[in-house]
Structure 1
Amino acid sequence: MTRSYYSHLGGHPPQEQLLTDRAVFTEAYAVLPRGTMRDITASRLPHWEGTRLWVIARPMSGFSETFSHYVMDVAPGGGSEKPEADGGAEAVLFVTTGEAELKIGRAVHVLGPGGYAYLPAGTRWSLRNRASQAKLGFHWIRKRYVPAEGLGAPEPVISSDAEAEQVPMPGTDGRWVTTRFVDPDDLRHDMHVTIVTLEPGAVIPFMETHVMEHGLYVLQGKAVYRLNRDWVEVEAGDYMWLRAFCPQACYAGGPGPFRYLLYKDVNRHAPLGLGDR
């Protein structure tokens, strides 16, 4: 399988372009097409040099409540020695273009396209784009870690799309596969970030309805996705943001595979009040 990772962001549409797009924000889901991630919608962060980002998910009352998702764009030489201000935040990094030099304590890791890192809460880390010309693009997913009594905290994980375990969905002849970067039976983890791959014509053939919140960034290909009451066309670079219990299903188009980076919260009791979050 040929892997590709969408990373063409920024710019500005011409004045002649029609105001016609697929962006939508509903009571149960949001779709942010890749065309919404323009220069004018980019943000910046303290202690990050040569860096801009698109905040495509954040906790909001009555919608998502567990995570934030950034698409990072780092110029040559840019990066941060103090990337995370919240000591309780865990993170997943996934590189789409360029090379990231990631330091965890004294260890140095180079992550190229498809590179993955899980960083537990409280980890001392830094990140740089050491290239002289090429930009670095990566996803940064953040969540406030929820400890579980007696289990301890997970360790850092360094992996990649190419080397991680690929698990076929039963009864699909390998046409629907999940790439898992951490063991799903390791209950120390309270979030999973995976890659879902559907070959052309493959389907999610029922309306999934579950407690996990979802963020789905399309890395490659195209599909039609059922979200709550609506069928929505999506392609590489689009983002879908789903509340808990939002019904969902999918038909994958062609000519190549449809792949998306998936966030979900897992392995913890549902909070019973605001003080439990």
Structure 2
Amino acid sequence: MSYYTPKGGLPAQSELLTDRAVVKEAYTVIPKDVLRDIVTSNLPGFTGTRSWIIARPIAGFATTFAQLIVEIAPGGGAERPEPEAGVEGVVFVTAGELALTLAGERHVLGAGGYAYLAAGAEWSIANEGGEPASFHWIRKAYEPADGIAAPASFVTRDQDVAPRPMPDTDGAWATTRFVDPDDLAHDMHVNIVTFQPGGVIPFAETHVMEHGLFVLEGKAVYRLNDDWVEVEAGDFMWLRAFCPQACYAGGPGPFRYLLYKDVNRQIRLT
């Protein structure tokens, strides 16, 4: 498995401003070259850590989640990473190794490591290795549902979960699902979507779910609202509800992205 991980740095003073960053009413594209040292944030409670905050709730746009790319230097980490009691999270490692202690049990997550961290879970994270470790951290306020118990935390790996082909695609479009989509305990899904060269989303998906899509590998042309946008490994697409979307993966290798969406809850009106 290959997962793009930002390296930071700054462009040379001799370079021209030719980039693909765009913010529109229905979507935002944050290309990989925007993830530079100057736009990182430090996080309270962490040591030896910097982060790129690539999504946060914004009124009138997407409101359900935050997404960070976090880099922890050797010896760094946090004893209590999550500062809010009602917030669930997903950690997905793209580079290095992280030691995750969850409810007193220690796990070592390498590239492809995935952890669902239930709201209120006790967990800590540390880089005990000799190289920087990087991961995506997706956070959402958990929304309970009457009569349904909240989900439990768990740890797995991308490499251990078989992608499920989408119907009638002959495997050209598949989704690695880390939780059962019929499990109503979960109010968000963080999956990996894979397109083989030539694979497509052949209709304009238009739905209530918000999306964060970070391209882990490959390249494609993505339809966002009324624009076709070229994207590649390291780019992030952020979609508000009902933004039409489609995709064509041109190759030469697989096109894979980490996908967030909010699911399985009635719309609150009061």
Q: TM-score scaled by structure 1?
A: 0.96
Whether 1:192 and 2:161 are equivalent positions in the alignment is no
User: What CA RMSD, in Å, does the superposition of the two structures yield over aligned residues?
Assistant: 0.7
SS of match in other structure, 2:159: coil
Q: Which amino acid aligns with 2:155?
A: I
- Which residue is 1:91 aligned to? 89
- Which residue is 2:162 aligned to? 165
Q: Which amino acid aligns with 2:221?
A: V
- Which residue is 1:222 aligned to? 219
Cα displacement (A) at 1:254: 1.2
Q: Which amino acid aligns with 1:165?
A: A
For the Cα contact (< 8 Å) 2:8–2:37, is it kept in 1? yes
For the Cα contact (< 8 Å) 2:194–2:254, is it kept in 1? yes
* Gap regions ≥5 residues in structure 2: none
For the Cα contact (< 8 Å) 1:9–1:34, is it kept in 2? no
The structure 1 segments of at least 4 consecutive aligned residues displaced by more than 6 Å after TM superposition are none
Cα displacement (A) at 1:105: 1.7
For the Cα contact (< 8 Å) 2:195–2:254, is it kept in 1? yes
Whether 1:150 and 2:147 are equivalent positions in the alignment is yes
* Gap regions ≥5 residues in structure 1: none
Cα displacement (A) at 1:270: 1.5
For the Cα contact (< 8 Å) 2:174–2:195, is it kept in 1? yes
Q: In 2, distance between residues paired with 1:235 and 1:87?
A: 36
Cα displacement (A) at 1:166: 1.4
- Which residue is 1:126 aligned to? 124
- Which residue is 2:201 aligned to? 204
* Deviations, residues 131-180 of structure 1 (Å, cap 9, x unaligned): 0x210000000000000011111011211111113110111111100001
For the Cα contact (< 8 Å) 1:165–1:181, is it kept in 2? no
1:254 alignment partner, one of 243, 251, 254: 251
Q: In 2, distance between residues paired with 1:61 and 1:6?
A: 30
- Which residue is 1:271 aligned to? 268
Q: Which amino acid aligns with 1:195?
A: I
Cα displacement (A) at 1:16: 1.0
For the Cα contact (< 8 Å) 1:32–1:240, is it kept in 2? yes
Cα displacement (A) at 1:244: 0.3
Q: Which amino acid aligns with 1:62?
A: G
- Which residue is 1:14 aligned to? 12
Q: Which amino acid aligns with 1:259?
A: R
For the Cα contact (< 8 Å) 2:223–2:247, is it kept in 1? yes
1:65 alignment partner, one of 63, 66, 70: 63
Q: TM-score scaled by structure 2?
A: 0.99
